[in-house]
Amino acid sequence: MTTATRTTSLARAETLQFARNRTLLINAAVFPLGFGLVMFFVTRATDDASTTDAAAMALEYFLVFALMFVQFYTVLSMATTRRDEGVMKRLRTGEARDAEILGAFSFPGAVLTVLFTVVMAVALVVLGAPGPVNVLPIIVAVLLGLAVCTGLALVTSGMTKNAEAAQITSLPVMILMFASMGSIRQMFPDSVNSIIERTPFALIFDLSQYGWAGNTMTDRIAEDGPAPLDFTGVLSETWPMMVMLAAWAVVCLWAGAKYVKWDVRS
């Protein structure tokens, strides 16, 4: 069997297991889109500028819940459950390579996140929001965000005794994710904010804000904040952030592959 065939077979099997878990399906379908659209309706106004800001905030809330519940918690739950059932150990003794096995865990959540991101963007435009200024930072934020969450989920799985304990061990990542949101970061002192804004989730949210609105929430809250950037300006402003996020994604995936546990006795 080729790598593509093995990976496809493993991904199909994990997708079937995912589809049978009603809790994961409800979390994936309801929370991200629901919270995002609620925030849009609550914060939007009649003028285009306010509607654009509301759409950018809605996208940020959508990404929080999509990356947390659709990707991070799904991979954490799958890796922990498969380890406890002895599935990971058996798979590792066969033809499948480590990267293929671990990659299969990330497949269902990643596909759903990408699909729901498209649905969310289309829904915002249909509901009256102006389209994104530059879609590239949003695409990079989503794809690299999936990689970051996959790596962190595998690391967390290595510290999780069983599937029930995942509700506790996932709290540090959840706290960091919520603390990285633009609306939350404004409450911290500048010295703390300057550190948080370099963390992967803050980069993800800022990239999504730049991509949709041409600026960040920090810029919009400031009285003398800079005007929204155009397509070229956004690309010029965000490419260093995309490089930094790519570096975070590599580190997280490396750590996930290194510290994930393949057996309950390891």
Token duo for residue 187: 């409450």
Based on C-alpha coordinates, what's the Rg of the chain? 19
* HSE toward the beta carbon, residue 96, CA cutoff 13 A: 21
Q: Walk along the chain (266 residues) and give the pLDDT tens digit of each residue.
A: 677 777 788 888 888 877 777 777 777 778 898 889 988 888 876 655 678 888 999 999 999 999 998 999 889 988 898 888 888 888 888 777 888 888 888 998 899 999 999 999 999 999 988 889 999 999 999 999 999 999 999 999 988 888 788 888 999 999 999 999 988 888 888 888 888 889 999 999 999 999 998 888 776 666 566 778 888 999 999 999 999 999 999 999 999 999 998 887 65
- The pLDDT of residue 68 is 92
- The pLDDT of residue 46 is 61
Q: Are 66 and 244 in contact (CB under 8 A)?
A: no
Q: Domain limits of the chain?
A: 3-259
Q: Are 113 and 217 in contact (CB under 8 A)?
A: no
Alpha helices in 129-216 (DSSP H): 135-158, 166-169, 171-179, 182-185, 190-196, 200-213
- The pLDDT of residue 63 is 95
- The pLDDT of residue 1 is 61
CA–CA separation, 119 and 211 (whole Å):
16
Amino acid letter, 235: L
